[in-house]
Amino acid sequence: MSAKELSDKLRKRQQRKLHVRKTLSGTPEKPRMTIFKSNRFMYVQVIDDAAGVTLASASTLEETLKGLKRNKEGAAKLGEEIGKRLKEKNVGVVVFDRNGYQYHGIVKAIADGARKAGIAF
């Protein structure tokens, strides 16, 4: 993939992200769960946009989750971990922000893992 194709791909994802974020926001009762995928790691944050505060986060950079690979199985475990952390903070419902990514593969696995932990979307 050439540099121009890569920059176009990132620009299109940014446009999709901004288009969705115009209408999607997190509240204290229903915070926003957003994801980010780099080439090596996965990150999940749950954000209360009204207060501008991150309520919980999990990533494959943490010591407890360091062994997870960037695949569907690792993403499902990451989703379960963020679900467990949200349950500890008495959050049961979130708005899922796929951050411009297609709802497929890793993104879907994170969402399914959170649902398995008892989080509703």
CA gap 112, 99 in Å, rounded: 16
Q: Which residues, including other chains, have CB under 8 Å from residue 92's CB and lie 6 or more apart?
A: 86, 118, 119, 120
The closest alpha carbon to 54, from 80, 75, 34, belongs to: 34
The closest alpha carbon to 29, from 98, 121, 94, belongs to: 94
Residues 83, 113: contact at Cβ < 8 Å?
Answer: yes
pLDDT at 1: 73
**pLDDT 10s per residue in the chain (121 long)?**
788 887 898 899 999 999 999 999 999 999 999 999 999 999 999 999 999 999 999 999 999 999 999 999 999 999 999 999 999 999 999 999 999 999 999 999 999 999 999 999 9
**What pTM did the predictor assign?**
0.91
Would residue 24 be called left, alpha or beta, if left means φ above 0 and alpha means ψ between -120 and 50 degrees?
A: beta
* Residue extents of the structural domains in the chain: 3-116
Q: 60: exposed, middle or buried (C-beta count within 10 Å: 0-12, 13-18, 19+)?
A: buried
Q: Give the architecture (CATH level 2) of 3-116.
A: 2-Layer Sandwich (3.30)
pLDDT at 48: 96
